[in-house]
Amino acid sequence: MAMEMHPAMTAMHHWILGAATGDWTRLVGMLAGSVTFHVPVEGFAGVRHGAADAIRFFEWLADSVRADLVVHSVLTGEAGVAFEVQVTGTMHGEPFTQRLCLVFEVRDGLVHHFREYLAWPGGLR
């Protein structure tokens, strides 16, 4: 019998694939229509609501970022699952490295809320 992956782990897997390839369709397919999110990205400041805003964010990522993500730790709690991640890649064609924490709140197999916290140890190079 195969063990089923926790939906937050599946979402993180899809985030990793999206960052590497620019294809965010699998992650977008996991979003609740009423998803809320917060990412520290210009143009998406504050808490955003709805799948249409999230799709616009992932389209921006598809056009702007290609990166390899390595999960260093996973924290779980009642409110969600957090992933501490090392990122190395390009943004707008410029190399960058960063650390971030992605938090997913998942119910019934769908992402209802996600948020991202950044730390830029090296900044854009």
pLDDT at 1: 46
Considering only CA atoms, which of 13, 7, 1 is closest in space to residue 109? 7
Share of the chain above pLDDT 70, in %: 90
* pLDDT one-digit tens code per residue, 88-111: 999 999 999 999 999 999 999 999
Could you tell me the CATH number of the domain that includes residue 93?
3.10.450.50
- Answer whether residue 124 is part of any domain: no
Structural domain harbouring 56: 7-119
Q: Pick out the chain residues at pLDDT < 50.
A: 1-3, 124-125
DSSP state of 40: -
- Answer whether residue 31 is part of any domain: yes
Neighbours of 16 (CB within 10 A): 19
> pTM for the complete prediction?
0.89
For residue 79, CA distances in Å to 6, 51, 115 come to 14, 20, 12
Angle 23-82-6 (CA atoms, 0-180°, nearest 5)?
A: 70
Domain count within the chain = 1
